[in-house]
Structure 1
Amino acid sequence: MASKVLNKVMGIIGLNDEDFDEYEDEVMEEKAIARENSYDYDEKLNDKNSSNSNNKVVNIHTASSVKVVIVKPKDYDEATQICDDLKNRKIVVVNVTDLEPKTAQRLLDFMGGASYVLNGELLEIDKGVYLLSPSNVDISRDLKNDLASKSIFNWSK
């Protein structure tokens, strides 16, 4: 008798057993579809991982992709191109000997700021010749110590 009363109350609220069973079936079907999709994904992922773990592939282009750009700017407008090369992880050698001293100083300030922001280094190689190196390039200690005494900007990492 209690079950009849419960069924009537559930029928009034709209939770008939028949409707409830259909809802459960829909949820179960959705879960089954989701499981199938995740199984396919997991299976593909495991296949890729197992094939990669068997092959000892090393990318040889990572170390050899460093490029050196030598620039002798004619005016301050070339500063953005120099810094774009640095941003693209290229080593840049800049010769400012033909520039007016004020223009050369502005250019060095700009390059020094860009070098600092990109975690690179700006070193003076010779009077009026500077080396900009990106963060992925390590300069040997011997060269760094020789140039440190001459360097205008000496940022240590």
Structure 2
Amino acid sequence: MGSVRKASAWLGLVEDNDERYYDDEYAEGDRAGDSWVTDPRVRVVSETAQEEGRRIATVSPDGFRDARSIGELFRDGVPVIMNLTSMEPADAKRVVDFAAGLTFGLRGSIERVATRVFLLTPADTQIVNGEPGPHTQDGFFNQS
């Protein structure tokens, strides 16, 4: 099964008949009630920002098992900054492959921000480039 198909199956976009990819740790019945306990490596801003739709999550996974928290946040429409600097290179590559399939499946985008740091943005999020525009002769800093 290809990585895009795996990500699509994990997101519930297609049926997955291959049970070997599911981990017992993440079984549906493992959660106590409906409350979701946030991983300490995942930080999401305050409730006020959530109400206004201005949430961004930062995730610093230790291994590939933490990819689930990235997928859940992204599926909920939250932009995610993945910091993979503390991971082994092989696991970091697997997480990037997963994130690429995730963004492709949900029509989002993935952008490298720094070495081993990536920004995942949902389809309805616009990225604004902070680079200055071209300088004009009559600009504010023209001192002649």
TM-score, with length taken from structure 1: 0.49
Matched, 1:76 2:88: no
2:97 maps to amino acid: D
Match of 1:67 in 2: 55
User: Following superposition, which runs of at least 4 residues in structure 1 exceed 6 angstroms of deviation?
Assistant: none
**1:99 counterpart (87, 95, 103):** 87
Say what the alpha-carbon RMSD is for the aligned residues: 2.1
Give CA deviations for 1:61-82 in whole Å, capped at 9, x if unaligned.
9992131001100110011110
Relative to 1, partners in 2 of residues 1:108 and 1:143: Cα closer, same or farther, differing over 3 Å? farther
Once the two structures are superposed, the pairs formed by residues 15-94 of structure 1 within 5 Å of their partners are: 64-94=52-82
- Conserved 8 A contact 1:79-1:107: yes
Relative to 1, partners in 2 of residues 1:100 and 1:66: Cα closer, same or farther, differing over 3 Å? same
**Displacement of 1:136:** 1.3
Higher RCO (CA < 8 A, seq sep 6+): 2
Match of 1:132 in 2: 120
Identity %: 25
Relative to 1, partners in 2 of residues 1:143 and 1:132: Cα closer, same or farther, differing over 3 Å? farther
Structure 1 unaligned runs (5+)?
1-60, 145-157
The structure richer in helix per residue is 1
Larger radius of gyration: 1
TM-score, with length taken from structure 2: 0.53
